[in-house]
Amino acid sequence: MLDRTKTALVIVDVQEAFRSVIPDLSLIASRISMAARAFDALASQIIVSEQYPAGLGRTVEEILFSLGEEVPFVEKSAFSAWAEAGFRTHLEENGIKTVALCGIETHICVLQTALDLIKNGYDVHLLCDSVASRFEHDRQAALARILDAGAKSSSVEMVLFEMLGDSRDAAFKAVQSIIR
């Protein structure tokens, strides 16, 4: 079972420039926003990466509005968020052992981040309902490769209810109201 004190939601590159090229970006952003609000209700860590924001824009508003001011943003040029020291430092300093991974594009930045996390001993839960690519065949190929590398297939609700563990948890009603 996931331990919410050692699990972080990692949101990879859901930026404005992708809005016109990623099918169902609004749906993916909505799912990620829901996850972010629930992770906040669970007092769990959230990290957001942005690929070259000067050119690709900031994280989409639907997600930005769901994030607290304390959420760290990692600006990157490498495709893997792992390549940025600030990303690694945040995971280490907060005792993160497990990552719930979501974002775009599945076959590039999400894939490379997942592979690096797994290689470095992190338990990766891929939120398959919250990743996208421009083309479905790229998304499917990336899902297969990430799962073959050792990540666990998951979804927003699976992760949230696993972190809750019990309907008597103090955060249950807050999380329930977010996912409805």
Residues classed as catalytic = 13, 76, 109
3 state DSSP class of 115: helix
| Dihedral pair phi/psi, residue 100, rounded to 5° | -95, 110
Give the closest residue to 63 by CA, choosing from 73, 78, 54, 51. 73
* Residue 77: CA count within 13 A, CB half-sphere: 1
* 8 vs 45: CA distance, rounded Å: 5
* 104 vs 63: CA distance, rounded Å: 13
E strand residue ranges, the chain: 7-12, 45-51, 73-76, 98-104, 123-132, 152-154
- Surface-to-core class of residue 2, CB atoms within 10 Å of its CB (0-12 exposed, 13-18 middle, 19+ buried): buried
